[in-house]
Structure 1
Amino acid sequence: MLDICLLGTCGMMPLPNRWLSCMLVRSGSHLTLFDCGEGTQIPWKTLGWGFRQLGAICFSHMHADHVAGLPGVLFMVAHAGRTEPLDIYGPAGTSYVVEGLRRIAAELPFPIHIHEFKGGEHFQLPGNLQASCAPASHGIPCLAYRVELQRQPAFQVEQARALDIPVQFWKRLQTGETVSYNERTFTPQDVLGAARRGIALAYITDTRPQSALSELAHDVDLLVCESMYDTLDDLPLARSNAHMVASESAGIARDAGAHQLVLTHFSPKVNDTTRAEKLARSVFPNTRAARDGMVLTLDYADA
């Protein structure tokens, strides 16, 4: 199971009723933050998920509305007592920007490891999450992310009993270990059923639409995607600023075969997000506009 909170939903600048766009993902007790604009720690504190378990931050790109909140978050994590390493992922230029921001957060009780990607890399996030990224189109190095929580095949109890495998070995087999007993060897394949679908989500922001993004988001349970503009009249503006209109975001969801779309990263001039929601639904019906503090839970399918 994954819990996702849209801590903020605004682009460019924080507003009195809307924090900057960022997303927090919880797997078990482990947390990963996607983007970290100015004031991120404030809605996070209101959420009540705590700070100590933050194990990774994934930056889409190095514009201020996505990174300027880093010192405040690092202070909160330090104050919560974390001593384990914190991994930071992002595109080219991440090390330079993070090192600059850390001049006002230099003394921390935990080490920071920075990883710069071009797109196409696969890596692991806290809470047994498998992640990958793809390059986005924003005029500067920018990444979109996919996160997956895999699901183990079901353990076939009757099959294990038929093979006379003692119960004390069942868990080891279920977790992928081969065991030997009474001169017999048993493998996980002997007692595990067919592969089962896990959980997947994608985070795409600050980009023009492109096919690589739909490929990244293929068959995700949830696509969280920017919707900087809410009317087709703003399409020229979206093109010139390397952002998207809501219907273009919906086109990515449609082409990806996503299960649901949540729009975020709204322009400060968007006061009522229902117009973006309506425009996107004309292309991809299962769409809703995020609101600050929205929490969604993704669970395994019954099958």
Structure 2
Amino acid sequence: MLDICLLGTGGMMPMPGRFLTAMLARVNGRLLLIDCGEGTQVTMKMQGWGFKSIDVICITHFHADHISGLPGLLLTIGNAGREVPLTLVGPQGLEYIVEGLRRICPELPYPLEYIEIGKDTPNPIKVGEFSISYCLADHMVRCYAYRVDLQRRGKFDIKKAEKLGLPKTLWGKVQKEGSVEHEGKVYTADMVLGDARAGIGVAYCTDSRPVDRLRDFIRGVQLFICEGMYGEDEKKQKAKENKHMLFSEAAGLAKGGEVGELWLTHFSPALNEPELFLSVAQEIFPNTALGEERKSTTILFPKEG
């Protein structure tokens, strides 16, 4: 299962009662954070999932409302007792930006490892428990949408194991360790497992126009968290100029990508009552909800028929 928490819903600047947009994912106790604007660690503390177990931080782009909270968070992670490496993922220039921010937190008890997205970067990126895919967004600066997927292996196939002559005493070991040697022959898990089963996925996109490649990128995820900078369609020209999305455009992406649910986030500071425009999105994609500070959900693997 995959736990998701939308830590904040604000764009551009934090507001009373509205933190800057960031998302936290949890798998088997390990954490992944997407974006880290000013005050992120405050709302993380309120959520209570901890800091030490953050294994990877993905940065969508280098505007301040998405990264300026990083120095303080890195210090807090260190104060929580982390000593093993922490991975940072983001656009090219990530190390330069972060090392600049680290001038106010130069001593950390753990190393940082950087993955700057380029033409040779694997997609998806595997970090610990997480499989992280990325897609180029359409913003004023280079920006990426992210997708976190949990794959599920096929069930153990007794007939396959028996046909191979693998002793029952080794069945559990080959599933757990991935391979086992018996009488001079190596048996791998794929030799005794059935077809892969349906997994689960969550996509996160802020600061972008609704380009076609994003629709394809998010296809089929159970949850799509997407910016809705402006609620009213009358702001479309402004959205185009600033490379942001309307509620209706985010809903159109969700519909086209056949996602399970849409959470709107990254609201403009001028959008004081986003609930007034929720129906605009729901008319296009009914299963749309407004993001709220620390709105959480647990996504389970699909039931098998």
Number of the residue aligned with 1:295? 296
Deviation at 1:121, TM superposition (A): 4.1
SS of 1:122 mapped into structure 2: coil
Distance, in Å, in 2 between the alignment partners of 1:183 and 1:45 is: 53
Question: Is the 8 Å Cα contact of residues 229 and 276 (structure 1) preserved in structure 2?
Answer: no
What whole-Å deviation, never above 9, does each CA across 1:164-209 have from its counterpart, x for those lacking one? 6433311233247344546777554553222201111111110001
Question: Is the 8 Å Cα contact of residues 27 and 127 (structure 1) preserved in structure 2?
Answer: no
Distance, in Å, in 1 between the alignment partners of 2:5 and 2:184 is: 51
Number of the residue aligned with 1:22? 22
Distance, in Å, in 2 between the alignment partners of 1:222 and 1:278 is: 19
Number of the residue aligned with 1:88? 88
Distance, in Å, in 2 between the alignment partners of 1:267 and 1:14 is: 10
Greater mean deviation of Cα atoms: 267-276 or 75-84: 267-276
**Aligned pair in 2 of structure 1 residues 139, 109: CA closer, same or farther (>3 Å)?**
same
Number of the residue aligned with 1:200? 201
Distance, in Å, in 1 between the alignment partners of 2:190 and 2:20 is: 47
Number of the residue aligned with 2:149? 148
Number of the residue aligned with 1:239? 240
What whole-Å deviation, never above 9, does each CA across 1:243-277 have from its counterpart, x for those lacking one? 00011011111111111111111111122222342
Distance, in Å, in 1 between the alignment partners of 2:73 and 2:144 is: 21
Distance, in Å, in 2 between the alignment partners of 1:115 and 1:295 is: 28
Residue correspondence of structure 1 range 97-112 to structure 2 within 5 A:
97-112=97-112
Gaps of 5+ in 1: none
Distance, in Å, in 2 between the alignment partners of 1:273 and 1:136 is: 24
Distance, in Å, in 1 between the alignment partners of 2:217 and 2:101 is: 30
Question: Is the 8 Å Cα contact of residues 129 and 150 (structure 1) preserved in structure 2?
Answer: no
What whole-Å deviation, never above 9, does each CA across 1:74-129 have from its counterpart, x for those lacking one? 11101001011111111123222211111101110011122211477424354422
Question: Is the 8 Å Cα contact of residues 224 and 254 (structure 2) preserved in structure 1?
Answer: yes
Question: Is the 8 Å Cα contact of residues 229 and 270 (structure 1) preserved in structure 2?
Answer: yes
SS of 2:149 mapped into structure 1: strand
Greater mean deviation of Cα atoms: 90-99 or 123-132: 123-132
What whole-Å deviation, never above 9, does each CA across 1:19-75 have from its counterpart, x for those lacking one? 000001111111111000001110101111110011111001000100010011111
**Aligned pair in 2 of structure 1 residues 94, 179: CA closer, same or farther (>3 Å)?**
closer
Question: Is the 8 Å Cα contact of residues 222 and 262 (structure 1) preserved in structure 2?
Answer: yes
Number of the residue aligned with 1:65? 65
Number of the residue aligned with 1:286? 287
**Aligned pair in 2 of structure 1 residues 276, 172: CA closer, same or farther (>3 Å)?**
farther
SS of 2:134 mapped into structure 1: strand
**Aligned pair in 2 of structure 1 residues 175, 215: CA closer, same or farther (>3 Å)?**
farther
Number of the residue aligned with 1:265? 266
Question: Is the 8 Å Cα contact of residues 227 and 276 (structure 1) preserved in structure 2?
Answer: no
SS of 1:31 mapped into structure 2: strand
Letter in 2 for 1:195: A
Distance, in Å, in 2 between the alignment partners of 1:262 and 1:67 is: 21
Greater mean deviation of Cα atoms: 124-133 or 106-115: 124-133
RMSD between aligned alpha carbons? 2.0
Number of the residue aligned with 2:40? 40
TM-score normalised by structure 1 residue count: 0.93
Deviation at 1:131, TM superposition (A): 1.3
Question: Is the 8 Å Cα contact of residues 156 and 194 (structure 2) preserved in structure 1?
Answer: yes
Distance, in Å, in 2 between the alignment partners of 1:226 and 1:199 is: 21
**Aligned pair in 2 of structure 1 residues 127, 3: CA closer, same or farther (>3 Å)?**
farther
Identical-pair percentage: 43
Number of the residue aligned with 1:191? 192
Deviation at 1:302, TM superposition (A): 1.2
